[in-house]
Amino acid sequence: MGSTAHRRRLVALAYPVYFELLAGVTAGIINMVWVARLGGDAVAAVAVATNVENVLLGVILMAGSGTTVLVARARGAGDPGGVRAAVRGGWGVWALVTPVVAVGGYLCREPLARLVLGGDGGAALHLATGYFSVALPGMAVFFATNVVDGILKGAGDTRTPMRLALLANGLILGLDPLLILGFGLGVRGAAVATVLGRAAALACGLVVLRRDALPRAAGPSPGGLAADLCRTFRTGLPMSVDFVVRMAGTLVLVAVVARIGVAEVAGYGIATKAMYVATMAFYSVRQAAAIHTARLLGAGRDERRAVGREALRISGTIGVTALVVLVAAAPWIMAAFGARGEVADAGALYLRCLGPYLVLLSCFIALGGVFEGSGGSPLLARITACGVVLQLALAYGLSGLGLPGVCLAMALATAVQCAALARLHRRARGQRVLDDSAVRVG
């Protein structure tokens, strides 16, 4: 397969993933607009609850991402039994994790709300507890949807997960005003709307699996359920760790920025949301590279270097484009988010200094997809963890330079991560066995 063919395949896989991610972020922003009509306590309650959901998403990535890679490998090898084993493993992880989160979260909803709000929480504590009473049991639906998405993406279908995400978020946007304001459910109505929208998407996804994917997975499973579950866990856990570590680092970085000033924190928060438009594109390329790499390896074709080169080209182009746009349009971007005065100035400065970091991040994230698809995600998780620690240490030391110092710290730490990953990528050439869960090639 030539470079052009790799590039076209990566783009075809990546763009639906991008719109899937973008739909979720857009719905979250509009959701907050409706909740904002209930007052500051309601906004605080939903904001902290959403952060908890983001952390829990990292937990279920063990099932979703692990299933994607294993299904793609089995499909590439033309192994229906392997596909069935991967599907069983994904649902097995879901069955283990879901009761802990859904039931345990419901029982501990008030202590959890108190923990994330800090102190007594005031009126926001009651609101967050009410939101959690619906949202945490509803994580069973969210987790199942991630497993369905993982199976479909492993089969090379990224368009159906995009359509399911658009359906879910469209329903959420329609139900939000009805349940939050119309029926007077308030914050709890936002949680109900979210669960109902996701449940509808899950039902449609299961129909698609029954009709299109599961019949192709027919055949005996090579090994018992325990073996299938362990394989999925072993494949997906490093990806989960990578996500959770990066999320935790982002939260700690807020505390570092807070040392600079209040306006800087507000500007940083708004600018970070604007930055998601670019970073989601990087992650869509990563998912595409992971799927494509895994399928090629399953078919006995080790083209990791070629796939990595094209992934870097696509994601790097997006990163450079983002750099130019942010430098040229930073004030207008902040104004679009309603920022004014010192907050707008701080956010614009941050966006204009962010370009080098985004270009480096685009390369690191894109190349990481090749590692995820080839069984190298444990190494990737270690590099990410070390990079986050380095970034926080540098940001703390350079925070005296203001937001430009924070951006410099982010760029330097990401450059070190890129160098480490590039070295490992070069060493992977000719490697015949990636790890004990990967496919043997050659």
**DSSP of 215-227:** GGG-S--SS-HHH
Residue 201 has pLDDT above 80, yes or no: yes
Q: Please name the residue ranges forming H helices in 78-158.
A: 80-107, 109-117, 122-135, 139-154
User: What is the pLDDT at residue 435?
Assistant: 43
Measured between alpha carbons, how far is 284 from 277 in angstroms, rounded to an integer? 11
User: What is the pLDDT at residue 64?
Assistant: 87
Which residues lie below 8 Å from residue 223, measured CB to CB, with a gap of 6+? 85
Measured between alpha carbons, how far is 16 from 22 in angstroms, rounded to an integer? 10
Q: What are 111's two structure tokens?
A: 């202590």
In this structure, of 41-45, 106-110, 322-326, the range with the lowest mean pLDDT score is 41-45
pLDDT in tens, 253-268: 877 887 888 788 778 8
User: What is the pLDDT at residue 429?
Assistant: 55
Select, from the ranges 34-48, 100-114, 428-442, the one with the highest average predicted confidence (pLDDT). Answer: 100-114
* Selected residue with higher pLDDT from 434 and 407: 407
Q: What are 314's two structure tokens?
A: 């696509």
Residue 354 has pLDDT above 70, yes or no: yes
- What would the mean pLDDT of 78-106 be, rounded to a whole number? 89
**Cα–Cα nearest to 48, from 137, 103, 122, 124:** 124
436 pLDDT band (50/70/90 cuts)? very low
222 pLDDT band (50/70/90 cuts)? low
Residue 366 has pLDDT above 70, yes or no: yes
Residue 434 has pLDDT above 50, yes or no: no
**Structural domain boundaries in the chain:** 1-223, 235-442
119 pLDDT band (50/70/90 cuts)? low
Residue 210, Cβ density class (10 Å: 0-12 exposed, 13-18 middle, ≥19 buried):
exposed
pLDDT in tens, 392-422: 999 999 988 988 999 999 999 999 999 999 8
Distance separating the N- and C-terminal Cα atoms of the chain = 16
Neighbouring C-alpha atoms within 13 Å toward the C-beta of 419: 8
- What would the mean pLDDT of 321-326 be, rounded to a whole number? 92
Averaged confidence pLDDT in the chain: 84
115 pLDDT band (50/70/90 cuts)? confident
In this structure, of 61-75, 212-226, 289-303, the range with the lowest mean pLDDT score is 212-226
Residue 23 has pLDDT above 60, yes or no: yes
Residue 183 has pLDDT above 50, yes or no: yes
pLDDT in tens, 69-86: 999 998 888 888 888 888
Measured between alpha carbons, how far is 79 from 153 in angstroms, rounded to an integer? 17
